[in-house]
A and B are shown apart, each in its own frame.
Chain A
Amino acid sequence: MVKKLSIAAIIMVFLVVSITFAMAEGKGNARKGKYLFRKTCRSCHMEGGSATELSPVSKTQAEWQKTFDNAGDLKCKDEWANLSEKDTVDIYSYLHGHAFDSPSPAKCK
């Protein structure tokens, strides 16, 4: 059990470090991110779902940055652990790129 936890912790740390690194580097594929967000996240993060309704305009760019930097603190961190590093960067690109105060805020759909 301890071994499993520590492996999970190591993965989380690795994920966080590499996401931050990747985000600092630049772009993921925001369009892939849109598809992945809908497939992975929206089922819970929608109206009537088990988590808060979310779309890119739910947060400012700075807030999305903070969320992803602190992914280990999220309730759904287990689901996050299942995503590849590229997938997470793509989802971040989509959410950050179309955030509340971004140049192209997502239109409600």
Chain B
Amino acid sequence: MPETKSQMMSRRKFLQLTGGLATATAMASSPCKVLYALTRDAGPQDTEEIREMFSACDMCFNKCGLIARVENNVVKKLDPNPKSLKSRGMLCARGNAGVKQLYDPDRLKYPLLRKGARGDGKWQRLSWDEALDHAAEQLDKIGKEYTRCGFLFMAGTDMQSTFVHQFAEAYGSYNVISHESNCLLSRNRAFLDTYGVMPTPDVLNCKYVIMPGANRFEALVTPDSMDLMTARTNKSKLVVLDPRFTKTAALADEWYPIKPGTDMAFFLAVAHVIISEELYDKTFIKEKTFGFEELREHVRQYTPQWAQKETDIPAKDITRIARELAAAAPSAMIYPGRRSSDYEDSTQIRRSYAIVNALLGNWDQKGGLLVPKKVKPGSMHIEAPFYEDNPDDRVDAGRAQMMFDEEGSFKHTRDAVIEGKPYPIKGWMTYKTNPMQTGANRDKTIEMINTLDFMMTVDIAMSDTAWMADLVLPAPSYLERQDPLSAFLASSTCSGVITRDPVVPAMFESKPVFWIVKELAKRLELGEFFDFTVDDFRKAQLKKIPEVAKALKEDGVYNVTGPSFGIHKGKPFKTRSKKIEFYNTRYKDKGIDPMPVYKQPKTIPENHFRIVVGRNAYITQSASTNNSLLWELEKENSLWIHPKSAAAMDIKNGETITVKSHVGKVTIKARVTKETRPDTVYMDTGFGVLSKGLTNIFGKGACIAQILEDKADKISGNMAMHETFVTVSKT
């Protein structure tokens, strides 16, 4: 039945009415004087101005291209940009919910200064001038008293974080950390130390994927997620090793509830089978790898029978999988995964993944590990001054065996700040990162904050980290920002460039962090290092890639669709031996095992469980749990516990229970489910907040960081979050 114009009008009117009602209800239920975003009542249909604007999503780190539908200056809907090859023309649940990050009644609206004790949540409103004057004063004071290195900077993954780094450089502090040490640094370390580069897996064309721990269909929806789905329809095989029955496990061909912490045993046994049965490409091994004989000797002891005892996976299956994997090579892979912040030997665990990949000969092959050519934009150089009184090195130096100098280690930095050694750090600036929720052992983060003279946070919402700060500065959401160009890799569809222009003007008094650091620089007589606009910066970036500008304007994204495999023929690897290293001589020189040596994970004490960390498809860490649309899908987290274990303690589904570790204690509802091992429990991240400024979730659920112990990977300094044992009891 054809829709008439009048029918369309009345439907729109209906939606507006209910939208208005919802807003009115929200206002009525809140006692505080908060400004709300009001959607205007639309006038007659022909005065409606409808625009479609390009942007890049920021609900996770993927930066999927999107098209925002704007009616009368209000963003109504976010749709995928079909030309965004990286996102395979898709925008996930989180991406769609971006509208509610923009129109969030809980948004930070103006600069706030703490009144009362840290964590009290008492704030005084400041003007921007007052706020910036105060911050600059503190930066200057701390810089004089404790050297410029006495101020710590932590910027999350964001298209404007480069400006925070530039500010830190001009200011003179080398204490700059990212969130990556709570995430994937040990994976990067392992692959870099094997291949000389962190390769991208070509899941799309792969015929046999083993996915240890990673949860691509739920955790972060990257190109791999879509490609894996496509590959499955093309009859590729997926084997998942995970103590939890995740959605990825549910969609796999085979799932093994592997004993947590034993991945390395599995892969060393796979290597044993491939080598002893000579299922490898002899030419590839001879020409492209280093240390094969040492590896052969090393894995002799790691038989499938031995691995069965460690992993709880039958030896016959390990052997069969190894043979199937080798038969599918080179279009076969051990998926490198992303977050590797699990065990104290997480780097060595990933080394075993990298080594098996190398045995499969899948380097630079279709369906294997690729290094597509990334677009290289130009940049703006700053000639930062050198502060002679600065200490020689970062505050977290020397605590990990091979830390990435430019990423640092949150855990080691936090310890150093608390200890005041090797030198004091008294100031902290955070941008777009929430260590209060994502850094294991929340009490330690609070302890660290309490040693500081001054802490400032730039954020969109009153996260738990902002809640603890002295000065909170409101930033605009991604839909209100103009950002520099950002080059990205898109796996088998090569690479590209994306950017952001404001879809709607910045709301309330929010200001982009670029403007904030520029203003701070001016006040600190460092203005010369920020004497440019985002447009100027973009021009400098486009100098090397002028063809990009047109595509960005017309398509909202620039795609490079050149070949992504077979492009490294004949080139040496960026390793000491110039080959893929089974045996790492640099490790040997530093007293680190040159090949992964299996260590049994600690035995779980009686009446305890191991707790593991993970994600689901609608929450990205802590940033999205308070989002009104996503919150409807999950209002609070719960502890996954196996029915056998629950029954032993007479715990029923939905019952409130207490979970306790050596570092903290939380109460949470139980979710009794077979989707986890009897010895393993789990909860989503991002709940149990301290911040009353997150009104949907305050008082709901539990904060996993509160109970996670902060062990670290010895080699990279990456946080190790799966080493915690907890007790569970009725409350």
Contact = CB atoms under 8 A, between A and B. Distances in A.
Interface of A: 29, 31-32, 35-36, 38-39, 42, 46, 60, 97-98, 100-101, 103-105, 107-109
B576 interface: yes
Most buried by B among A60, A98, A103: A103
9 contacts: A31-B174, A31-B390, A38-B383, A46-B381, A98-B405, A101-B196, A101-B576, A104-B404, A109-B381
A35 B576 contact: no
B190 to A, nearest CB: 12
Contacts of A107: 406
Contact of A35 (B379, B386, B575): B386
B404 A109 contact: no
Interface in B375-430: 376, 379, 381, 383-386, 390, 392-393, 402, 404-406
A25 to B, nearest CB: 15
A103 B586 contact: yes
B386 A103 contact: no
Nearest to A35: B386
A94 B386 CA distance: 14
A105 B574 contact: yes
A28 to B, nearest CB: 10
The dominant DSSP class at the B interface is loop
A60 B193 CA distance: 14
Contacts of A101: 196, 574-576
Interface of B: 174, 192-193, 196, 376, 379, 381, 383-386, 390, 392-393, 402, 404-406, 574-576, 586
A39 B381 CA distance: 12
The dominant DSSP class at the A interface is loop
Contacts of A38: 381, 383-384
A103 B592 CA distance: 13
Contacts of A32: 386
Contacts of A42: 381
A89 to B, nearest CB: 13
Nearest to B402: A103
B393 to A, nearest CB: 8
Given A98-B405, A100-B574, A29 B392 contact: yes
The 8 closest A-B pairs by CB, nearest first: A35-B386, A104-B405, A101-B574, A103-B402, A100-B574, A29-B392, A104-B404, A38-B383
A35 B384 contact: yes
Given A31-B392, A32-B386, A35-B386, A109 B379 contact: yes
Contacts of A98: 405
Contacts of A103: 192-193, 402, 404, 586
A30 B707 CA distance: 39
B83 to A, nearest CB: 27
A61 B679 CA distance: 47
A98 B406 CA distance: 10
Nearest to A62: B576
B383 A39 contact: yes
Given A35-B386, A101-B196, A108 B376 contact: yes
Nearest to A28: B392
B159 to A, nearest CB: 16
A100 B574 CA distance: 6
Contacts of B405: 97-98, 104
A104 B385 CA distance: 23
A97 B174 CA distance: 16
A53 B448 CA distance: 43
Contacts of A104: 404-406
Contacts of A100: 574
Nearest to A39: B383
Most buried by B among A97, A108, A109: A109
A35 B148 CA distance: 15
A56 to B, nearest CB: 11
Given A38-B381, A105-B192, 11 more contacts: A31-B390, A31-B392, A31-B393, A32-B386, A60-B574, A100-B574, A101-B196, A103-B404, A103-B586, A108-B379, A109-B381
A105 B406 CA distance: 9
A107 B379 CA distance: 12
A65 to B, nearest CB: 13
A4 B196 CA distance: 46
Nearest to B590: A103
A31 B405 CA distance: 11
Most buried by B among A31, A32, A38, A104: A31
A32 B381 CA distance: 17
A99 to B, nearest CB: 9
Contacts of B386: 31-32, 35-36
Most buried by B among A35, A101, A107: A101
A42 B193 CA distance: 29
